[in-house]
Amino acid sequence: QKEKFKIQLDALNLDINHLKTTLRTNNDTLMQKRIALAQIEPLLDVKRAKYERLQSDYDALEADKSGHEDIQDTVILQLNQAYIKRDEMTSNLSLDREKRLHISQDTQRKEKDLREFRRELNEKTEALNSIKMSNMKYETQIDNALNRLSSEYQMTFEYALENIYDASQSDQKDWVLKLRQEINALGNVNLDAPQEYEEVNTRYNFLNTQLTDLTESREKLLNVISELDEVMEVEFVEMFDKINAELQTVFSKLFNGGRAKLILEDPDDILNTGVDIDVQPPGKSVQNIRLFSGGEKSLIAISVLFSIIKARHVPLCIFDEVEAALDQVNVERLANYVKELSDETQFILITHRPGTMAKCDKLYGVTMPAKGVSSLLSVRLDEAIELREAA
């Protein structure tokens, strides 16, 4: 059994030497990690494999330690039993000296074995502690490598693992230098960026919703405007035709003949078109309206106005000296036509022309009997005529 423990001790020493060699190799390997970022993962894999092997050795040593402790307990128990037996044999005078010597030698041998076991246990305990220190050192080196990966290259282990590529040492150094320059060019990291992004994103979603609502509202308004334009075009054309039809009749009565017609400048663009008037008074040729006299222009405008009134059936109309530029004949003709239309439309006329006053039902006048004092007078012509005839 002593030879067995010696063999185990030699194996352990070989393992320790092997571990020392491995440690030196790992130190060299860790130094080589600086060559390129892409080589970090293979080195880490090597370290993990060695760590697992060391852990396995550690577990084995723990198991050996437990086994040695069991053996030590057994030896101690046997030693105690030997002491008891020796005492019994000593007390027994009938035992011969040869047996007592044998027992004594056996006891000494067991004590020696016990000391040997204790020495081996101490050596393995020291080896175990050395392995633990090596493990701690490897773990520290791995942590340092990961921290350097994060601080110098701003990468996680997973990201570095996904972006491994084969390149020469020179290319790797150039690539690392370029990455560092790009990282430095980014400047300081804004720690409030996530919160600012959330605020801006919330604002963007709000404005985007409003934009969608406004776009839908705009489309609806454009549809309404389009519908209104269509209705306006239809109603304008209908009213234009009615006014044009009335204009010929009104113009003939006010001018005692002749013809007049409204003309659209751009029939294809009803809502934006201008309107021209084509007139030919009796006894005259068609000519530009600017060539007519002031009275003729006034009467033409009044003709258009009366055409609108008849087409629209206006309940009330107020004229302010519209006949001021007309001669007496045209004033009387205008007054007669107003009288004719008064059955459907009520007219209020402001005038100084006697011909117009003569066709009114009631007159209102303002006089100034004293300076700064105005007085309102009203007269019904039918009553005034009756009073005159009675007188």
Mean pLDDT of 223-242: 90
Do 149 and 51 share a structural domain? yes
Do 107 and 240 share a structural domain? no
Contact call for residues 235 and 312 (beta carbons, < 8 A): no
3-state secondary structure of 365: strand
Domain membership flag for residue 274: yes
Where do the H-state alpha helices sit in 92-155? Answer: 97-153
Counted residue by residue, the chain has a size of 391
Please tell me the pTM assigned to this model.
0.45
Q: What is the CATH number of the domain that holds 245?
A: 3.40.50.300
Please write the tens of the pLDDT for every residue from 306-358.
999 989 888 899 999 998 889 899 999 999 999 988 888 999 999 999 888 98
C-alpha–C-alpha distance, residues 75 and 81, integer Å: 10
Q: What is the CATH number of the domain that holds 145?
A: 1.10.287
Query: Long-range contacts made by residues 22-25, C-beta under 8 angstroms, separation at least 24?
Result: 22/50, 23/134, 23/137
Do 155 and 20 share a structural domain? yes
Comparison of pLDDT for 81 and 116, the residue scoring more: 116
Instruction: Using the 3D structure, point to which of 268, 293, 312 is the last residue of a domain.
Output: 312
Instruction: Using the 3D structure, point to which of 148, 166, 185 is the last residue of a domain.
Output: 185
The total number of structural domains in the chain stands at 2
Domain membership flag for residue 340: no
Domain membership flag for residue 151: yes
Domain membership flag for residue 17: yes
Comparison of pLDDT for 374 and 87, the residue scoring more: 374
Contact call for residues 343 and 333 (beta carbons, < 8 A): no
Do 158 and 240 share a structural domain? no
- Residue 76's pLDDT band (boundaries 50, 70, 90)? low
Do 242 and 173 share a structural domain? no
C-alpha–C-alpha distance, residues 381 and 118, integer Å: 152
Do 254 and 155 share a structural domain? no
Please write the tens of the pLDDT for every residue from 10-63.
676 677 667 667 766 766 665 665 555 555 556 566 666 776 777 777 666 666
| Residue with tokens 């701690």, as numbered in its chain | 136
Using CA atoms, how far residue 128 sits from 12, 132, 150, 190, in Å, is 10, 6, 33, 48
E strands, the chain, in order: 259-264, 275-280, 316-320, 346-350, 362-370, 373-380
Domain membership flag for residue 203: no
Do 49 and 162 share a structural domain? yes
Do 173 and 249 share a structural domain? no
C-alpha–C-alpha distance, residues 44 and 168, integer Å: 20
Domain membership flag for residue 86: yes
Instruction: Using the 3D structure, point to which of 270, 296, 312 is the last residue of a domain.
Output: 312
What is the domain extent for residue 252? Answer: 236-312
Domain membership flag for residue 349: no
Mode of pairing for the β-strands spanning 362-370 and 373-380: antiparallel
